[in-house]
Every structure is written in C-alpha cells, then in structure tokens.
Amino acid sequence: MLTEHPAIYVNALFACLLEFSIGRIIRLERSIIDLSLINHVLNISIHLFSSKYLCRSTFFPYLWTYHTHRSCFRALCCKGPPPPRPEYDVVCIGLTGAGKTSLLSRLCSEGSDGIVPTTGFSIKAVPFPNAILNVKELGGADNIKKYWSRYYQGSQGVVFVLDSASSDEDLEAARNELHSALQHPQLCTLPFLILANHQDKPAARTPNQIKKYFELEPLARGKRWILEGSTTDNMEAVKESFGQFISLLEDKDTEPARI
Ligand SMILES: Nc1nc2c(ncn2[C@@H]2O[C@H](COP(=O)(O)OP(=O)(O)OP(=O)(O)O)[C@@H](O)[C@H]2O)c(=O)[nH]1
Ligand SMILES: [Mg+2]
C-alpha cells in the first residue's frame, strides 16, 4: 500500500487541508448544519476532484490514504472546537447610574465611550473562561424600574449593582430595591452577586459599611450570594467576583453566604 503513487499522498494532504478550512467555517457554535452530511459531500467531491486531476489510482488506496492522513492531520492541527461552555441567564438590576452598562461593556471588551442610560433593557452574552452569562440589564430609571419584575422570569441568577458613593437618599432607594428583589418569588431562591460599585471614588462606602447599612444578614440566611466592592478601574477584580458568582450558579460552592 505504501508503494502507491506519491500523488496519492499529495492528494490526501490536499483533502485534509480542504476539510480543515471548511471545518473551521462550519464549526460555529450552535451550527444547525448537519456535519455528517457535509462530510459525505466533501468526501465525494474530494475524491472526484483528486482522482480526476491528481492521480488516476483506484478508489480504495486513495480512501485508505486519505483517512489515515486525515486522522494524523486532525491529531496534529485540527483539535476541533473547545468543549461548549455552560450558559446561564442572569438579570442585572440597580438604580440608574450604578454602572451596570459600564461594567458589562468592559467585561465584553467593548469601549466605555458613548454609554447612555439604558432605556428598557439590553442583553449581552458575557464570556468567561468556564461559562457564558446571558445578562439582561434592566434600565434603572424610575419610569423603567416599576417594570423590572416583568423581566425576571427564566433568570438563573441576579447581579445587583449599586453606587457606593451615592447620596444617602439614593442608597436607601437602592437598599429597598435590593430587598424587594431578594424577596421576589421569582428571584428569592437564586444566587445573587451584589456589586458595591464606584469604589474608586473617595466618598464611596466600603463593602462592609454597605453590608451593615443594607441589613443583609437576616435576608442572607440560607441564600447563595456574594457582596463585593467594584470599580470600572479594576476589571480583574470584577472578573474574580463574577468567577465566584459562576461557582454559585454551578452550585459548586456550598457556602451559603459571603457578605
Ligand atoms: N468613577 C466611576 N464611574 C463609574 C463607574 N461605573 C460607572 N461609572 C460611570 O457612571 C455613569 C453611569 O454608568 P452606566 O453604566 O450608564 O449606569 P447604569 O447602571 O447602566 O445606568 P442605567 O442604564 O440608567 O440604569 C457613567 O458615566 C459611567 O462612566 C465606576 O466604577 N467608577
Ligand atoms: Mg445601563
């Protein structure tokens, strides 16, 4: 078999390259294309093409060489798509100006220029190394806030963002909103990530002060949640907080509350 015409090997290598290129295109996530069908069509067209132009050998040596080389080529160069990451649907709430859009945009590596208050809601697929969060941000303006609960259905987790440097009045409003969310029938059993944002500002309360003021302890009992300080100036810390939140979503972390 190894003594066959060298054109067979050129032929097989060419077939592998062609399949590799097309494979890269069709291996999009959630592709609805039937890969096995494409593989059949590809095999036949490669065979016809190669037998006509590259060598006039019989079909079987070609097939053997092609499949052998294809396996080697795949092992070396074409490892295929990475295993799919789990996806979680998360709702993100907080008063207007808390920094929801800014944080989410930075997590998606988008620029922070031109961010305007969210009217209605916006959805972003935020990628992390071990999961993708489909985050639905609900605008925090007064005229939108009253409709928040209509968008809670289907959520698997909650991100609550607050401005740690806001006025006492706004902080109290944020506290009331968080308490309502924690007790809402559609959210009360879900993991919460509470981000005390704007920590870069001198007037910012510390996460501990927020925790005390928000009186979270009685509500925390038996719930899975995290309260962390955050600022758009330190996205590495924000990513770490989301990493812990993902662990709660995966239910890996059995610790009930970390505030
Ligand atoms: N200094 C500072 N400014 C921030 C921070 N996060 C957001 N901002 C600023 O706060 C303003 C409001 O941010 P947004 O991201 O639009 O706030 P939002 O929570 O999405 O507001 P709505 O969409 O209206 O609910 C913007 O000017 C941001 O640049 C932060 O951590 N520190
Ligand atoms: Mg926004």
Question: pLDDT of 234-248, one tens digit each?
Answer: 999 999 999 999 999
Residue 108 gets which letter from DSSP?
T
In a domain, residue 37? The reply is no
Give the CATH number, domain containing residue 179: 3.40.50.300
250 three-state secondary structure? coil
pLDDT level of residue 111 (50, 70, 90 thresholds): confident
Residue 157 has pLDDT above 90, yes or no: yes
In a domain, residue 122? The reply is yes
In a domain, residue 10? The reply is no
d(CA 44, CA 15): 11
Q: What is the mean pLDDT of residues 89-116?
A: 95
> What rounded mean pLDDT belongs to the chain?
79
Question: For position 84, what pLDDT does the model report?
Answer: 87
42 annotated among ligand-binding-site residues: no
Question: For position 6, what pLDDT does the model report?
Answer: 58
Determine if ligand 1 sits within 6 Å of the CB of residue 134: no
Predicted model pTM: 0.72
In a domain, residue 126? The reply is yes
Q: Give yes or no for a contact between 141 and 101, defined as CB atoms under 8 angstroms apart.
A: no
Q: What is the mean pLDDT of residues 224-235?
A: 95
Residue 9 has pLDDT above 50, yes or no: yes
Structure tokens at 178: 């968080």
Residue 109 gets which letter from DSSP?
T
Residue 61 has pLDDT above 70, yes or no: no
Put residue 120 in one of left, alpha, beta given phi > 0 → left and psi -120 to 50 → alpha. Answer: left
In 3D space, the residue among 11, 3, 108 whose CA is nearest the CA of residue 54 turns out to be 11
Ligand 1 centroid distance, CA of 52 (Å): 64
d(CA 213, CA 192): 18
Please state, as a whole number, how many other Cβ atoms lie within 10 Å of the Cβ of residue 192.
Answer: 25
Residue 80 has pLDDT above 50, yes or no: yes
In a domain, residue 53? The reply is no
Ligand 1 centroid distance, CA of 69 (Å): 55
**242 vs 43, higher pLDDT:** 242
Structure tokens at 250: 């995966």
Determine if ligand 1 sits within 6 Å of the CB of residue 105: no
Question: For position 79, what pLDDT does the model report?
Answer: 62
186 annotated among ligand-binding-site residues: no
Ligand 2 centroid distance, CA of 193 (Å): 17
In a domain, residue 227? The reply is yes
In a domain, residue 21? The reply is no
d(CA 89, CA 119): 20
- Mean pLDDT is lowest, of 20-24, 30-34, 159-163, 201-205, for 30-34
Q: How many domains does the chain have?
A: 1
Q: Give yes or no for a contact between 253 and 157, defined as CB atoms under 8 angstroms apart.
A: no
Structure tokens at 120: 């209605």
Q: Give yes or no for a contact between 174 and 163, defined as CB atoms under 8 angstroms apart.
A: yes
204 three-state secondary structure? coil
Residue 192 belongs to domain spanning: 90-253
In a domain, residue 15? The reply is no
Residue 222 has pLDDT above 90, yes or no: no
Residue 218 has pLDDT above 60, yes or no: yes
